[in-house]
Amino acid sequence: MKKNLFRTALAALSLSLPFAVSAADLSISGAGASFPAPVYRVWTYNYGESTGNRIEINYQSSGSGAGINQVRDRTVDFGGTDNPLTREELDKAGLCQFPMLTGGVVVVVNLRGVKPNALRLDRKTLADIFLGKITAWNDPAIRALNPELRLPKVRITVVRRSDSSGTSFIFTNYLTKISKEWAERVGCGPAVNWPVGIGGQKNPGVCNNVARINGAIGYTEYTYAVEAKLSMVTLENRAGKFVAPTPESFKASGIHADWKNAPGFYMVLTDQPGDDSWPITGLTYILVQRNQTDAGKAGAMLKYFNWCYTTGANAASKLHYVPLAEEVVELVRKAWADEIRVNGSPVAL
């Protein structure tokens, strides 16, 4: 069932319209982050069926940077990003931002002859690999962490995103927290000056490069790694525990999130406390214009997002994402009522 859901999502990634246009009374367009694209595609398809295809929801997986720019320019009705905007940035652009899902950014490797999902990396070693300071898989630092593995004398090929990416923002945000050298030399952002590596376009591009290159290491959203059958690395977290990536460890990272004191819902869940917390957990967000011009479209759009939070939560879980808690969803609904307007009036759902 999980595989069928994912295949439905990926099959739709190449389609600009997830269901028949001729029957649609209203079309709503979105674009942005590839991190949540698998579940967004399932949602748009299922929601279309639930409305008898009268409302068409179209989401293009173009990357977080493109999503921010397009909703800011009003070329789409909503944008998707894993790189949240600050309250100041939102106010300047006249945007409302709210979280949709939690998920995990995972480290994937292709090491022929090494048992899948068996490799462990601590914080320093992970950073040193992406800094280009560790260049071979049989390096003493990696061997010391994995004495039971027969690590090959193979060159490490770092694979990273070539586009402006919220997944890169999450990953580099984590590296700045665990490595002073990374923070000073490279920093955090959706697009950085990578010290080493080859690029891949969006999450599928990274997965494809890792899958084809022996000795490759990269980062991607968990669901893509599962479907691509890539080996995932167990990582040392802030508590000093080695944790495997699972929806349960992603959820554990969000336990300490203080949403009531997060202006514009700005939240980064990397390097959270807790023995069971996955260290590179991310949130994916939706951006919409605060001042809407079409009351019918604005109401339909918010009604769709509300459906995603409720009816759509089951599909999100099956695709390895973590739905938001109801108390967070209530805060989001309040933000809609407070911020989103059509001719000065709140939007009716």
Per-residue pLDDT of the chain (349 residues; tens, 9 = 90+): 444 554 444 444 433 333 333 457 899 999 999 999 999 999 999 999 988 879 999 999 999 999 999 999 999 999 999 999 999 999 999 999 999 999 999 999 999 999 999 999 999 999 999 999 999 999 999 999 999 999 999 999 999 999 999 999 999 999 999 999 999 999 999 999 999 999 999 999 999 999 999 999 999 999 999 999 999 999 999 999 999 999 999 999 999 899 999 999 999 999 999 999 999 999 999 999 999 999 999 999 999 999 999 999 999 999 999 999 999 999 999 999 999 999 888 887 7
Q: How many whole angstroms separate alpha carbon 276 and alpha carbon 193?
A: 32
* pLDDT of res. 256: 85
| CATH 1.10.3720.10 fits domain 2-103+281-346 | no
* Helix or strand (DSSP H, E) at 159: strand 157-161
Task: Of 36, 10, 29, give the one whose Cα is nearest residue 167.
Answer: 36
Q: How far is CA 279 from the centre of its chain?
A: 14
Cα angle 321, 323, 325; round to 5 = 150
Domain(s) labelled CATH 3.40.190.10 in the chain stretch across 2-103+281-346, 104-255
With beta carbons less than 8 A apart as the criterion, state whether 84 and 265 touch.
Answer: yes
Cα 291 → chain centroid: 27
CATH of region 104-255: 3.40.190.10
Angle at 137 between CA 136 and CA 138, to 5 degrees: 95
In 3-state terms, what secondary structure has residue 295?
helix
Tell me what pLDDT residue 15 has.
36
Q: How high is the pLDDT of residue 292? A: 96
Q: What is residue 5's predicted lDDT score, i.e. its pLDDT?
A: 52
Question: Does the CA dihedral 200-204-206-207 come out positive or negative?
Answer: negative
Report the C-alpha gap between 164 and 75 in whole angstroms.
Answer: 18
Say what the pLDDT of residue 344 is: 87
Give me the phi and psi of 155, to 5 degrees please.
Answer: -70, 140
Residue 53 has what pLDDT? 79
* pLDDT the model gives residue 10: 44
